[in-house]
Structure 1
Amino acid sequence: MAVVNNFERDIKSIMNGESFPFDTASNINYLVSSLDDLTNNNYLMLGKIIKHFLDYQVPRLQVLDEYSKGLNSTIYSRPKRQEENKADYRRAHNFGKIIAQFVAGYTTSVPVKYTVGDDSEQKLIDTFNEYNDVATLDNELMYDVAKYGRAYELQYRDENSNNNVKLSNVFETFVIYDNTIERNPLAAVRLVEIDTLDNNQTQYSVSLYTDNEIITFANITQAVGSLKETDSTPHFYNQVPIIEYSSNRYRTGWYEDVISLIDAYDAVNSDTSNYMTDVVNSLLVISGDFQAPNGKDGVSQLINNIKQYGVLALQSGTDREGNSTSIDAKYINPEFNSTASENYQQRLFKDIFMMSNVPNLADESFGGNASGVAMRYKIFGFEQAIAQTMNSFKRSLGRRYELLGTLTSNLKGGLSNYVPVNVTFTPNLPYAVSEEVQMLTNAGIPLSRKTMYDQTHFTDATTEENNLANEKEEQLDQSEPMNDIKFDSDKGDEVDGGQEE
């Protein structure tokens, strides 16, 4: 049996227990020579792959998920300060969320367009997209791609014979490919957590999707081992109905490369917060000859009074000659270069966006007075990087509709014959439309009324043309300014707003 999976190698655990940097094993593709490799010996190979996925790949996904929620593992796991009376703030910053949202918003906030040449086929695709709210699905898939470097969707037919496509959780899904140059998907796995046993072992429900059936297994634990098949259900897609989306050939998340910079930013910001708090709680030093309050606990009472009232009142002593002695009180503060700290934070802040190729929208240079060309130069690096993600995403979208098309070789309700679907992204960016229109009109290039209407945010060409036609039928003077048209407040009728007779 030819096996090329490096998950079988004796790879050390991720940084001896540390969550980052990630080991190579945490993001490999699973490859086998044929489907028989998975099914032989009571699915022993499949069990090994599932165990490897739970032990090595899920921890990486968990870390990436935490960094998108501001639960940055490094800052929260660093040792506590030894001094009990010192501040110990943990300031986590969810740069991951900002970066992932920008990627998903740029690519899919404006719904992706799907077109084919045939009107009947176009109607079927539009119906499928509307039924499944594909615009929202695409945005969720791209958000997962930006976070984890991968995303999954599952197609299925429900009990009402409707064709469905849904997002599949990256913590529960992976695809197994053949080891040819084409990397064709041979199978896919969904393992859903269903229960926790008394011995704190998690139980999973496992389903194996092949090109013609869905095989389910008895509930397993993370120890896995061999699998016992419990059921098999045919499907009619003629392909594996789970599709993988990826950010690039390496399946890296968009902020995965800058996690160390995020950790450094968290650390310096937390240390600054600790310093500011420690200054307030600085050590008070009293020097000189003074008389503490009388009594056994005089010094303790003095300290409590300072904490409660913030005022220090001391009575000086006298020297041998009867003269009053001097008293001095001052706080001892740790030395801290606030300017250097702030400069360091700003440098890290800029590096995070620069290294991730995502523009920093908080930058003052992103002002509203910048020209369209200037704005495009500011995101030039991002557009080079996002092209890889969009091209990879487009290939997977093509498979979505290929599945929908091949379904009808056995069932009704899909495309009569598979027709390649044209996928068009519309980047969600502000454009200097007025500059472009002015440039064309100055050059003597006419623009249609429909095009002009489509540039407005409050109406569209069809609605406005209908409104104009209705006003024309009602014999309203369309050239008359709206400010000169008044209405009778009692009757609601239009009256002449011109001069009085």
Structure 2
Amino acid sequence: MAIAIDREQADDINNPSLELINYCVEEHEKEIPRLDVLFDYYNGNPHKIDQRPKDSPHDRDEIYVNNAKFVTDMMTGFMIGNPVSYSGSKERNIHPLTDALKKMKIKKHDTEVEKGLSAMGIGYELHYLSVSDGNVNPNVAWIDPRGMILVVDDTVERNSLFAIRPREKQKIDRSKYWEITVYSSFWTIIYKSETKKLSWDKMIAPPKIKENNYNAVPVVEFRNNEEKQGDYEQQLSQIDAYNGLQTDRIKDKKNFVKALMILYGFTLPNERPSEVNGSLVLNAPAKDEGGHAEFVTNTFNESEVQVLADAILDDFHKTTYIPNLNDENFAGTQSGEAMKFKLLGLLLALSVKTSYFEDGIRQRLTLITNILKIQGKNVEADDVEVKFKVNLPFNRKDVIEQIKDSQEFIPLLVSLGWLDDIDDPQEVVEMLNQQKEENMKLQAKALGVQASDSHSDLDDEPSEE
């Protein structure tokens, strides 16, 4: 999570002091326990803050239905299942930018970003230069929020001052040390220390300084929402309650199998059973003595327990906005408009997520274009239009019918944007016009009409001969 400080107290933000670095690292450590809990829930290892994580659910003899992973995987699919598209006008050439994004496999990278945001509510993207085929290309990497610290000023704009990446590393002799990397707008400074808290007497090597060509802090903060919360962070108690209920149900079944049997009216045999078979045969009571047997069990009403489980799940889906696809309301054929109303909560949540995701993408494009300009490729980040298309089922036939019916009062350029797989409606309109012209030429040729650009003897004046 970004740490806000007074700009005047930061001194040289391109070379922050060790005291300032240590302060930021200590403040960041306060957030790590919360992030650990959220990440462990996703990995199927739930625990509370300040508690030691347990082993797998198999070792705990517990049932764990990983609803946290379900929420994150579904949200990631809804958000990035259809990759983010980048387009620009004909007057602006953005091909160098789109080519750079393809080389860095930005679609896969965005999936990692959204997965981290959904689980922990915040994440960081590190920009760096890589060499491939003798060329220097801009590149990006997703950084876990537990391993990156962004320092901003305390103004309303939250301008980035510098970033810190502490990493514990190991030598070949298995001795460990800390590498603290500081990213500023002009320099990248690497410290190697015996301890995480930096001091000059604990340094194991002089700091290394590299030039930063991005002309800005090469770290972008992505947020899931204004509160920087994960998609299931407020539902941890519901996840625990559901898993606790399921665990108790299984234990009740096991206890039922192990129930004690009470025998009434039976007596022990007069002789001790032989050691050969070791079996014990009881003397049955007389008919008039009313002997019988029963189990001592803690009986429960399974239907009532199921009602409680369904209620917990219903509240869970309601508060996470993830639809319960097993719900009978989703069965059968539904119109596109009916589905939209059922998914209204999810669509509203996705609209918030996409707005904050786009903020991070805008900063990403600015950093990439800064490098492209150095390479002589004049591309402006403001010329790029970023489009999100949520990956939700819809009736394409209905949409096409709506486009056809709206031609009299809605321009085709506008209505084509209703289709999720069209990134540039203007390009599609031009393709349609070109196709119509070719069809007209083919039709004219079939009818024997001479094309306007053709020439034959019939065009000439008849000669005297």
Q: TM-score range, shorter-chain basis?
A: 0.7 to 0.9
Distance in 2, Cα, partners of 1:336 & 1:386: 41
1:60 corresponds to = 34
Aligned pair in 2 of structure 1 residues 29, 417: CA closer, same or farther (>3 Å)? closer
Q: Which amino acid aligns with 1:435?
A: D
2:191 corresponds to = 217
Q: Does 1:337 align with 2:314?
A: no
Instruction: Give the drift of 1:301.
Output: 5.2
**SS of corresponding position for 1:214:** strand
The equivalent position to 1:405 in structure 2, one of 369, 375, 381, is: 369
Contact 1:104 1:146 in 2 (8 A): yes
Contact 1:100 1:254 in 2 (8 A): yes
The equivalent position to 1:287 in structure 2, one of 264, 286, 303, is: 264
**1:310-459 correspondence to structure 2 within 5 Å:** 314-316=282-284, 325-408=289-372, 411-412=374-375, 414-439=377-402, 441=404
Contact 2:184 2:212 in 1 (8 A): no
**SS of corresponding position for 1:426:** coil
1:9 corresponds to = none
Instruction: Give the drift of 1:221.
Output: 3.7
The equivalent position to 2:126 in structure 1, one of 145, 151, 154, is: 154
The equivalent position to 2:4 in structure 1, one of 12, 31, 47, is: 31
CA-to-partner distance for each residue in 1:170-227, whole Å, 9 max, x for gaps?
A: 23112111111111111112222323999x99743221111111111113545x2536
**1:32-431 correspondence to structure 2 within 5 Å:** 32-34=5-7, 35-36=10-11, 42-54=17-29, 56-73=30-47, 89-117=61-89, 121-159=93-131, 160-195=135-170, 203-222=177-196, 224-226=197-199, 228=203, 230-292=207-269, 294-295=271-272, 314-316=282-284, 325-408=289-372, 411-412=374-375, 414-431=377-394
Instruction: Give the drift of 1:150.
Output: 0.8
**SS of corresponding position for 2:25:** helix
Instruction: Give the drift of 1:131.
Output: 0.3
Instruction: Give the drift of 1:130.
Output: 0.9
Instruction: Give the drift of 1:292.
Output: 4.2
Q: Which amino acid aligns with 1:136?
A: K
Instruction: Give the drift of 1:232.
Output: 1.1
Contact 2:94 2:384 in 1 (8 A): no
CA-to-partner distance for each residue in 1:353-374, whole Å, 9 max, x for gaps?
A: 1111222222221224011111
- RMSD over aligned CA atoms reads 3.9
Aligned pair in 2 of structure 1 residues 439, 249: CA closer, same or farther (>3 Å)? closer
TM-score after normalising by structure 2: 0.78
**SS of corresponding position for 1:347:** helix
Contact 2:14 2:186 in 1 (8 A): no
Aligned pair in 2 of structure 1 residues 359, 438: CA closer, same or farther (>3 Å)? same
CA-to-partner distance for each residue in 1:217-272, whole Å, 9 max, x for gaps?
A: 113545x2536561111111111001010011210000000001000001001000
Q: Which amino acid aligns with 1:210?
A: S
Contact 1:210 1:240 in 2 (8 A): yes
Distance in 2, Cα, partners of 1:31 & 1:127: 35
Distance in 2, Cα, partners of 1:78 & 1:103: 26
Q: Which amino acid aligns with 2:125?
A: E
**SS of corresponding position for 1:343:** helix
Instruction: Give the drift of 1:78.
Output: 11
Aligned pair in 2 of structure 1 residues 294, 37: CA closer, same or farther (>3 Å)? farther
User: Which has the higher mean CA deviation after the structures are superposed, 420-429 or 87-96?
Assistant: 87-96
Distance in 2, Cα, partners of 1:211 & 1:57: 25
Aligned pair in 2 of structure 1 residues 455, 353: CA closer, same or farther (>3 Å)? closer
Q: Which amino acid aligns with 1:94?
A: N
Aligned pair in 2 of structure 1 residues 403, 315: CA closer, same or farther (>3 Å)? same
Distance in 1, Cα, partners of 2:411 & 2:156: 50
Distance in 2, Cα, partners of 1:393 & 1:281: 54
Instruction: Give the drift of 1:51.
Output: 3.2
**SS of corresponding position for 1:193:** strand
Aligned pair in 2 of structure 1 residues 192, 380: CA closer, same or farther (>3 Å)? same
User: Which has the higher mean CA deviation after the structures are superposed, 205-214 or 28-37?
Assistant: 28-37
Higher relative contact order (CA 8 A, sep 6+): 2
CA-to-partner distance for each residue in 1:145-183, whole Å, 9 max, x for gaps?
A: 111101211111124411112222223112111111111
Aligned pair in 2 of structure 1 residues 401, 436: CA closer, same or farther (>3 Å)? closer
- Quick one: percent identity of the two aligned structures? 22
**SS of corresponding position for 1:72:** coil
Distance in 1, Cα, partners of 2:299 & 2:151: 57
Q: Which amino acid aligns with 1:188?
A: A
**SS of corresponding position for 1:315:** coil
Q: Which amino acid aligns with 2:119?
A: K
Aligned pair in 2 of structure 1 residues 181, 193: CA closer, same or farther (>3 Å)? same
TM-score after normalising by structure 1: 0.72
Q: Which amino acid aligns with 1:248?
A: N
Instruction: Give the drift of 1:41.
Output: 9.1
Q: Which amino acid aligns with 2:44?
A: G
Distance in 1, Cα, partners of 2:241 & 2:13: 44
Distance in 1, Cα, partners of 2:389 & 2:15: 47
Q: Which amino acid aligns with 1:355?
A: T
Aligned pair in 2 of structure 1 residues 40, 132: CA closer, same or farther (>3 Å)? closer
**SS of corresponding position for 1:96:** helix
Distance in 1, Cα, partners of 2:169 & 2:249: 44
Q: Which amino acid aligns with 1:124?
A: P
Give the unaligned 5+ runs of structure 2: 422-427, 443-465
Count matched residues.
415
2:455 corresponds to = none
Q: Which amino acid aligns with 1:265?
A: Y
Contact 1:406 1:418 in 2 (8 A): no
CA-to-partner distance for each residue in 1:268-305, whole Å, 9 max, x for gaps?
A: 0100010011101111112224224843899x955xx7
